[in-house]
Amino acid sequence: MKIDPGLKQVTLPNPVESRAGKAEGNKPADTQQTDVSLSPRAVQLKQLETQLAAIPVVDRARVDSIKEAIASGQYSINTGNIAESLLNSVKEMLHVAK
């Protein structure tokens, strides 16, 4: 069995350019009309998405503090918790697979 050495690159389609809506007869020509209005929930989700994008993926301060604790020998590992979590994950995967 051959193991794939890496992830395959996925190319995304080009984004669709936004188009200005048609101006109606009773509105000034420079006013744009949209065909779709977002619900308050959709607007809130868009704001949350923007906020999440600003959060870094890795908390560098946390990583550095763990590195220091490991280097100084103060970092302790609770093998019981790790084993329990692994077993729970496997049980969950087996339950989903049925």
Query: Residue 92 belongs to what domain range?
Result: 40-97
Q: What is the number of structural domains in the chain?
A: 1
Prediction pTM value: 0.34
What's residue 3's pLDDT?
Answer: 58
58 within some domain: yes
**Nearest one of 76, 79, 75 to 66, comparing CA atoms:** 75
What's residue 36's pLDDT?
Answer: 82
User: Which residues have a Cβ under 8 Å from the Cβ of 69 and sit 6 or more positions away?
Assistant: 75
**Nearest one of 46, 47, 19, 50 to 35, comparing CA atoms:** 19
Is the pLDDT at 97 greater than 90? The verdict is no
92 within some domain: yes
Mean pLDDT of the chain: 79
For 46-93, the pLDDT digits (tens) are 999 999 988 888 889 999 999 999 999 999 989 999 999 999 999 999
24 within some domain: no
What's residue 23's pLDDT?
Answer: 47
13 within some domain: no
55 within some domain: yes
CA-CA distances (angstroms) from residue 6 to 1, 2, 9, 11, 58?
A: 15, 12, 9, 16, 22
Phi, psi of 74 (to 5 degrees): -95, -5
